[in-house]
């Protein structure tokens, strides 16, 4: 997606019959809503295209071994021949549950709680080798969020970046985190929250919390008064908001997203004001 809530769908074809058969399913695939519009479900599995084999192998053999106290993880599923991808497609189990009501404070309390449970479970994992090779808007923006550089910024974003960097103090040791949890936590009565679409980064766990609340402030109507209940440091929220601002910049660098710039800046400014910047 262009940004949390900016709304662009990337058209893809469904997985072929050969791909479905490779994973042992035969049902007609149907597109899943949300995200980039590239995921399909068939036979109890979610299929995604263009997943790096090394990521999916790590997902299946390393991430899939963590405990699940306080959350459910959408586990990776290998093909029938044992490979973790087939013709560029990967599969994970379908998790039961649905998106919560983002307009109520309890939703954010539960998302933060699930995030912290997940990051407790991943805290001892080693850094994956593939992380330093990842590219794309989000990876580039994450690197810029943590490494100050002098690359060009849109004039409308420059002063905002300066303000957001000011409170970005140390957030603690780096570990494996899910850096895009906001709309990737599913709720189901009487069961722990389900975590899907893992976006791995090697950063402090509170950075993930900060991204969640930055998204909540920008796109889901969270108000300033609710922040105290959520117990996430301003430094973490500022860093998370900086990440989203710099993702906007990376999109613009590739000639994408100018139509959304005015709206996104207004949202970022409102979020920055909510945390006192």
**The two three-digit tokens of residue 30, written as one number:** 């149907």
Which pLDDT belongs to residue 150?
67
pLDDT band of 35, cuts 50, 70, 90: low
In DSSP terms, which residues pair with 89 in a beta bridge?
49, 86
Report the domain count for the chain.
2
Do residues 124 and 36 both lie within one domain? no
User: Given 46, 62, 93, which residue is the final one in a domain?
Assistant: 93
In a domain, 8, yes or no: no
The CA dihedral of 68, 204, 146, 261, to the nearest 10 degrees, is 50
Alpha carbon distances (Å) from 272 to 39, 70, 132, 137, 231: 33, 31, 30, 22, 17
Do residues 225 and 131 both lie within one domain? yes
User: Given 37, 59, 93, which residue is the final one in a domain?
Assistant: 93
**Is 70 within 8 Å of 113 (Cβ atoms)?**
yes
Do residues 216 and 115 both lie within one domain? yes
Does this model's pTM top 0.75?
Answer: yes
Mean pLDDT of the chain: 92
**Is 175 within 8 Å of 205 (Cβ atoms)?**
yes
In a domain, 74, yes or no: yes
In DSSP terms, which residues pair with 36 in a beta bridge?
none
In a domain, 12, yes or no: no
- DSSP assigned state of 135: -
Do residues 180 and 54 both lie within one domain? no
pLDDT band of 118, cuts 50, 70, 90: very high
CATH for 207 = 3.90.1200
CA 46 to chain centre: 17
Do residues 259 and 134 both lie within one domain? yes
Task: Name the residue range of residue 24's domain.
Answer: 17-93
CATH for 25 = 3.30.200
pLDDT band of 132, cuts 50, 70, 90: confident
Do residues 38 and 120 both lie within one domain? no
The helix (run of H) or strand (run of E) holding residue 186 is: strand 185-188
Q: Residue 2 above 50 pLDDT?
A: no
């Amino acid at each position: 997606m262009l940004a949390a809530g900016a709304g662009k769908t990337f058209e893809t074809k469904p997985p072929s019959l050969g791909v479905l058969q490779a994973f042992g399913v035969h049902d007609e695939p149907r597109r899943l809503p949300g995200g980039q519009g590239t995921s399909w479900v068939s036979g109890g599995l979610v299929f995604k295209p263009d997943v790096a084999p090394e990521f999916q192998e790590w997902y299946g053999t390393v991430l899939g071994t963590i405990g699940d106290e306080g959350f459910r993880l959408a586990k990776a599923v290998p093909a029938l021949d044992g490979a973790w991808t087939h013709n560029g497609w990967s599969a994970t189990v379908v998790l039961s549950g649905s998106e919560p009501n983002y307009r109520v404070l309890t939703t954010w309390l539960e998302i933060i709680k699930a995030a912290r449970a997940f990051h407790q479970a991943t805290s001892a994992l080693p850094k994956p080798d593939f992380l330093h090779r990842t590219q794309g808007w989000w990876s580039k923006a994450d690197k810029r969020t943590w490494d100050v550089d002098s690359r060009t910024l849109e004039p409308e974003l420059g002063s905002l970046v300066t303000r957001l960097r000011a409170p970005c103090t140390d957030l603690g040791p780096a570990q494996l985190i899910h850096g895009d949890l906001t709309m990737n936590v599913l709720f189901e009565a009487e069961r722990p929250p389900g975590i899907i679409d893992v976006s791995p980064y090697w950063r402090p766990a509170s950075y993930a919390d900060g991204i969640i609340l930055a998204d909540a402030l920008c796109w889901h109507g969270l108000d300033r008064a609710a922040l105290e209940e959520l117990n996430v440091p301003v430094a973490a929220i500022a860093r998370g908001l900086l990440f989203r601002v710099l993702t906007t910049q990376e999109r613009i660098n590739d000639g994408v997203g100018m139509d959304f710039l005015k709206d996104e800046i207004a949202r970022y400014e409102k979020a920055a004001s909510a945390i006192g910047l």
